[in-house]
Structure 1
Amino acid sequence: MQQVVEALLEIFTWAGLGFGAVVAGVALVLFLLDGTWLPVRAVVETTGPQTAEPGTPVHRVVRWFDETGGVNEAPLSEAEYAQLGAHDMADIYYRRGWTNRMRLTPGSPAVRGAAQLAAGLAGVGVVSLVISWVMFFVRG
């Protein structure tokens, strides 16, 4: 039974540390590809017909000035508009060097998820390694 536990700990150690390193590398690549996002205060506006009949789609956009003084505009999805509420102004993040790209969070959810997965896998590997060492010295 003890050999089975030691074998499982060995597998969890190598798999956790190995896959954790690979996923951390993926998270780093995703972070670098994500680019630089800068905070800005934007105006939330409704475009289209102001006296919309029932069933007519209403388009909501945010507009902001970027660091070069250019005016940018991006449409809001229903989920983004619900998250912002009925405010006239909103704090958003726009992509440096690109026009009309914005998001509501400072970091990418994909990067955050990959980093958390890498940390979890590495944590499993470290815990397995520590338990394996403790078992080795207690047995010895």
Structure 2
Amino acid sequence: MDTAIDAVIEIFTWVGFGAGALLAGVALIAYLLDGTWVPVRAVVEPTEHGPVVRWFGEDGGVNEAPLTPEQVRAVGSAGMYDVFVRRGWANSMRFTHGSPLVRAFALLAAGFLGLGVVALIVSSVLLFSRG
């Protein structure tokens, strides 16, 4: 029975550290590919195709992006709203500074690394308690 428990803990350790490191690498690559997002003040305007937000870009031109139903609920009846736009890209905006995809990969990596640490601690405790 002790051998089976040791094997399961060993598997959790390797899977935790391996998957955690892999997902941390994926999170880093996704973070680098996400680019630079800067805050701007955007005007919310109704159009025939639904509400849009418009803002002035770095080049002085007006950019716009349509709002999804979730974003419309978040904006409510505000005439202006703070958004984040991607530097160097026209008509690209989001409501959060950080990417939800990068955050998901980072949290998943932290969870797997936590599993690896817990399994390593349990393995060490079992090793010294049997001796």
TM-score (norm 1): 0.89
SS class of match (2:46): strand
From 58, 77, 81, the counterpart of 1:86: 77
SS class of match (1:135): helix
Distance in 1 (CA, whole Å) between partners of 2:127 and 2:58 is 59
Q: Deviations over 1:105-135 (max 9, x none)?
A: 1111111101100000000000000110111
Distance in 2 (CA, whole Å) between partners of 1:25 and 1:84 is 34
Q: Which residue of 1 aligns with 2:94?
A: 103
The runs of 4+ residues in structure 1 deviating greater than 6 Å are: none
Distance in 1 (CA, whole Å) between partners of 2:13 and 2:46 is 54
Q: Which residue of 2 aligns with 1:41?
A: 41
Total equivalences in the alignment: 131
SS class of match (1:59): coil
CA RMSD of aligned residues (A): 1.1
Deviation at 1:137, TM superposition (A): 1.1
Do residues 124 (structure 1) and 115 (structure 2) align?
A: yes
SS class of match (1:129): helix
Do residues 26 (structure 1) and 17 (structure 2) align?
A: no
> Structure 1: where are the runs of 5+ without partners?
49-57
The percent identity for this pair of structures is: 57
Q: Over alpha carbons, which structure has the higher Rg?
A: 1
